[in-house]
Amino acid sequence: MNQGILYGVGVGPGDPELLTLKAARLLREADVIAVPDKGAGEQTALNIIGQLAQGKPLLHCSTPMTRDQAVLDRCHDGIAREIADILDQGKNVVFITLGDPTVYSTYIYIHKRVLALGYRAELVPGVPSFCAVAARLGTSLCEGSERLLIVPASHKDLSDCLDLDANLVFMKAGRSITELQDRLRERGMLARASMVANCGMEGEQVWQRFEEMQEPSGYFSIVLVKEGT
Amino acid sequence: MNQGILYGVGVGPGDPELLTLKAARLLREADVIAVPDKGAGEQTALNIIGQLAQGKPLLHCSTPMTRDQAVLDRCHDGIAREIADILDQGKNVVFITLGDPTVYSTYIYIHKRVLALGYRAELVPGVPSFCAVAARLGTSLCEGSERLLIVPASHKDLSDCLDLDANLVFMKAGRSITELQDRLRERGMLARASMVANCGMEGEQVWQRFEEMQEPSGYFSIVLVKEGT
């Protein structure tokens, strides 16, 4: 029996219509759909694919909310082993992931492990959340010779980001958004910032002027700061 | 009669299966498909959508290969006016663009003008080329607290990019790729760099080790440099 293949599939930022044709096909053809589960964001990945998951066996892959690397490693090892067992049965597994699988996804840790165990695994690109946010704001992420710097929630040092001559995307959760607002105000950059929370999903909120956002809300927010002209 | 709507639709990086469901639907429903035309890259956008363009009137939108801003402005004004004429007939126009329309697209200049003329225009996200490149290389663009800096071909100053603590994406054409190779070698960063030319398209070339690339080739190349560990 041939071994199955693991596909790490980006399902896009939220709107089910932003799935790619390839993602839709692979989901229809999948024997098992693996669903990451670490909180509100991941249930969303399952919501996005909606009816494409109907009648398919789901493999729920829980990862704990911890920064303890040893705990995370053990957890990822376990998920990779579970997936390998399914691949050994000749079944294909589609692991769904919000946005794009190469951009801050948990999937990449599973991908490396499954490859290391000697199985085939492929990455299938999706639309990253920051592209959807720019579209929602009706603006470009970058034009002409502008550079674009993406800064994740977990990056601590903001100072060298704010010094760089580039458009900036901050991916931030919950309260840290207020701190970012303060830092941008100090630097006189706040007037050039916009924000979208839960883009394309339930509870979407859009601030063309980030400075008008008073109450941090939403599980996940993206702030775009354009260069001064 | 109602005015038509302009949709600026990202058709993804090259593989026709990386179109989104929304892009495919809008193309099927389109009255007119606007096709940018400034060289090899743009014919590609039309190739990507393939049969979805069949039987549809095409509006060819030529932009000259020049850095003269006044010439470009006149050209963009003219295209916006042509599109507005079609919208006035109650027809919807889908303007196709490689990758994502908010990432270094020519479309954004048309978008702004058509909005300024008082028409409705929407941005429809697509998969950007750099996501497809990372998937092709089997690696992440960014993980955990890593930042990601995107640098376009037209950005002249490389020094502060190379100093920044971030993963780097260089979008480069033709000969400038050799210069980039030299600069990365000088900085001891070349061993961490990979390159893909014409990702997902005819003539695709992949160098997991960018240092092994001897002959610059391909209209469009993307180099990914990961942070040292």
Say whether residue A125 is in contact with chain B using an 8 A CB cutoff: yes
Tens digits of per-residue pLDDT, A159-186? Answer: 888 889 999 999 976 778 888 999 999 9
Closest residue in B to A20 (Cα–Cα) = B20
Is residue A218 very low, low, confident or very high in pLDDT (cuts 50, 70, 90)?
Answer: low
pLDDT at B42: 56
Q: B210: burial class by Cβ within 10 Å (0-12, 13-18, 19+)?
A: buried
Contact A125, B91 (CB under 8 A): no
Instruction: Point out the residue among A100, A134, A151 whose CB comes nearest to the CB of B102.
Output: A134
pLDDT given at position A39: 63
Mean pLDDT (chain A, rounded): 92
Given a contact cutoff of 8 angstroms between Cβ atoms, the answer to whether A226 and A139 are in contact is: yes
Walk across the sheet containing A205-207 and list its strands: A205-207, A193-197, A221-225, A167-172, A148-151, B148-151, B167-172, B221-225, B193-197, B205-207
Could you report the predicted ipTM of this complex, rounded to two decimals? 0.95
Whole-structure pTM value? 0.95
Across the interface, whether the CB atoms of A142 and B103 are under 8 A apart is answered: yes
B160 touches chain A (CB under 8 A): yes
pLDDT digits (tens, 9 = 90+) for B113-128: 999 999 999 999 999 9
Q: Evaluate if residue A42 carries a pLDDT over 80.
A: no
| DSSP H stretches of helix in chain A | 21-29, 40-49, 69-88, 107-116, 129-137, 159-163, 176-186
CB-based contact, A154 to chain B, within 8 Å:
yes
Q: Tell me which H or E stretch contains A154.
A: none
Q: How far is A144 from chain B (nearest CA, A)?
A: 6
Which residues of chain B are under the pLDDT cut of 70?
39-42, 173, 217-219, 229
Least CB–CB distance from B142: residue in A21, A103, A161: A103
Question: A15–B25: do the CB atoms touch at under 8 Å?
Answer: no
